[in-house]
Amino acid sequence: MLAADDPLILDLVEWVAREERSHAELMESWRTACPRLTVWEDAIERGYLMRQARLVTVTAKGRELLSTSGRRTA
């Protein structure tokens, strides 16, 4: 489950769930100059997102996270 300080991870997973995203699109849209902001890496490490070739998709665990958080899954 997400910690109280992880709303950006939830936002990212929800954003990817809305429509198919390429890895390049995700990197462009979610880039940051802050080295401490590791939203993409944290979402991958926790199993909410995965990269398949050029696409980024939401995993079953990510969809469960959205559902239990009351967020949109599609």
Query: What does the alpha-carbon distance between residue 66 and residue 59 come to, in Å, rounded to a whole number?
Result: 11
Task: Flag residues of the chain having pLDDT under 50.
Answer: none
- Report the pLDDT value the prediction gives residue 29, as an integer from 0 to 100: 85
- Report the pLDDT value the prediction gives residue 38, as an integer from 0 to 100: 82
Which numeric CATH code is attached to 7-68? 1.10.10.10
Could you report the per-residue pLDDT of 2-22, keeping only the tens digit for each?
565 588 899 999 999 999 899
- Report the pLDDT value the prediction gives residue 32, as an integer from 0 to 100: 72
Q: Where are the domains of the chain?
A: 7-68
Closest CA to 48 of 32, 71, 25: 71
